[in-house]
Amino acid sequence: MDTAEQFKSFLDENEIFYSDKSSNIERNVFRIPQKLKSGSLVEVVVIFSNDSLKIVVLKIASVVNDEKRSKILELFNEVNFTYKYFKIYLDKDNDVVFEGDLVTDLIDGDFQPDILLTYIGVALQEINEIYPKIMKILWSD
């Protein structure tokens, strides 16, 4: 069983809601909706590709004001300096994106879905910490 199939089985066994989309043999995508402490809904996207995977958290916030965009980018520069396994940035549509990469043979050459779920939990914890700072900038005058 490949890593994406193992992850899918893990999600099913633990009754974790997700949607999946396989674009081809070499790539599988899982979308897992999550709620932040603030109550906001985000979407965790797990992308399996060959021997690595990417975790991308979407729908965090959007930046529409140029002045606030520059303040948001300053904040992201500060926090990205402290992150070891993640990065946060604005995409081409000025949406906030939180991202991390992993190799799939995490421990002793064996993929362990529970470790991936823990990694997702750490990502969400980091987002919960920065989210109020993002909103403070976006809601300021």
Domain CATH number, residue 125: 3.30.1460.70
Taking the mean position of all CA atoms in its chain, how far away is CA 33? 11
Asked whether 127 and 87 are in contact (CB, 8 A), the reply is no
Compute the distance between CA of residue 141 and CA of residue 132 in angstroms, rounded to an integer: 16
Q: Which residues contact 8 (CB under 8 A, 6 or more apart)?
A: 18, 20, 28, 30
Asked whether 30 and 46 are in contact (CB, 8 A), the reply is yes
Q: What is the DSSP letter of 107?
A: B
Compute the distance between CA of residue 106 and CA of residue 112 in angstroms, rounded to an integer: 7
Per-residue confidence (pLDDT) for residue 20, from 0 to 100: 83
pLDDT tens-digit map of 67-117: 999 999 999 999 999 998 899 999 999 999 999 998 765 545 678 888 899
pLDDT tens-digit map of 34-81: 999 999 999 999 998 877 789 999 999 999 999 999 999 999 999 999
Residue range 2-26: mean pLDDT, rounded:
83
Counting the structural domains of the chain, the total is 1
Maximum Cα–Cα distance for the chain, whole Å? 53
Percentage of residues in the chain with pLDDT exceeding 90?
Answer: 70
Per-residue confidence (pLDDT) for residue 49, from 0 to 100: 82
User: Which range marks the domain in which residue 51 is found?
Assistant: 3-139
Compute the distance between CA of residue 95 and CA of residue 91 in angstroms, rounded to an integer: 5
Asked whether 10 and 113 are in contact (CB, 8 A), the reply is yes
